[in-house]
């Protein structure tokens, strides 16, 4: 694991960690939180250039932050990262579990690796990051955690048994955790995007997909980020344990 653009430990800004922040929805969330006055820790696993571009855009939006390379699938590393961030920056106020991958295929032909890699990133990554972050938040009796799920967690999508299982598990786990830590001042919510203009659907038949959406268009990452920003703000102080769809009415 590596960290770059390390910040002075003295800060009055809210400290936010965004996993998978090098592009797409994760990048839009980083920029949104920066605009809300957060110091944003931008996680990436392999796309260093993408993470650095996200940081540039955060700074262009008037925010500040750092990029931090680590793999959310590694629980021991994730715990060390959380401890390091909390020690250097004085605490963690916001966690966005955004890291996720797809490895689509019909279930009867799906390899063990395709199944496991998706589960490890989306669902086990949620555990690896959320558990140590909650330990930090409990000490301060405040915090907001938002995980990025998918419409595939709520509706049938052929070829995505692994992805749907991971994201549906994320929804359920988040609701349970919300019920456990709500009295401690910690809010836990989920945002479930539908079809969003990202690399994930770059090769998809967009004309056909638009026909499935009542709003007749594909969403933008910034539209998801706005909802995340709301859930992390004081305006959502009484919102927890929810799965909020951002899908143009598709589901």
Write out the catalytic residue numbers. 163
Q: What's the CA dihedral at 125, 122, 167, 39 to 10 degrees?
A: 70
SS3 assignment, position 86: helix
Q: Which long-range contacts (CB under 8 A, 24 or more apart) does 116-122 make?
A: 118/162, 118/163, 118/166, 119/162, 119/165, 119/166, 119/169, 120/73, 121/72, 121/73, 121/166, 122/163, 122/166, 122/167, 122/170
Q: In this structure, are residues 190 and 243 in contact, taking their beta carbons and an 8 Å threshold?
A: yes
Q: What is the CA radius of gyration of the chain?
A: 17
Q: What is the largest CA-CA distance in the chain?
A: 54
DSSP state, 200? G
Q: Which residues of 185-216 are buried (b: 16+ CB within 10 A; e: fewer)?
A: ebbbbbbbbbbbbbebeeeeeeeeeeeebeee
Angstrom distance (rounded) from CA 195 to CA 209:
8
For residue 101, the Cα-to-chain-centroid distance in whole angstroms is 12
């Amino acid at each position: 694991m590596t960290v770059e653009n390390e910040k002075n430990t003295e800060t009055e800004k809210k400290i936010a960690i965004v996993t998978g922040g090098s592009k797409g929805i994760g990048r839009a969330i980083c920029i949104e939180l920066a605009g809300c006055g957060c110091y944003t820790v931008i996680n990436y696993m392999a796309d260093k250039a993408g993470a650095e571009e996200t940081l540039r855009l955060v700074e262009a939006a008037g925010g500040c932050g750092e990029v931090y390379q680590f793999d959310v699938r590694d629980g021991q590393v994730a715990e060390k990262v959380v401890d390091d961030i909390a020690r250097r920056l004085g605490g963690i106020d916001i966690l966005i579990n955004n890291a996720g991958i797809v490895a689509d295929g019909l279930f009867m032909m799906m390899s063990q690796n395709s199944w496991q890699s998706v589960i490890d990133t989306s669902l086990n990554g949620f555990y690896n990051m959320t558990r140590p972050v909650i330990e930090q938040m409990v000490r301060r009796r405040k915090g907001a955690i938002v995980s990025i799920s998918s419409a595939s967690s709520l509706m049938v999508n052929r070829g995505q048994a692994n992805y749907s299982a991971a994201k549906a598990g994320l929804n359920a786990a988040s609701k349970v955790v919300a019920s456990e830590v709500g009295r401690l001042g910690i809010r836990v919510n989920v945002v479930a995007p539908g079809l969003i203009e990202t690399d994930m659907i770059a090769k998809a038949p967009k004309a056909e997909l638009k026909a499935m959406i009542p709003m007749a268009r594909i969403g933008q990452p910034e539209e998801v980020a706005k909802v995340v920003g709301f859930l992390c703000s004081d305006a959502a102080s009484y919102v927890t344990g929810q799965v909020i769809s951002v899908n143009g009415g598709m589901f």
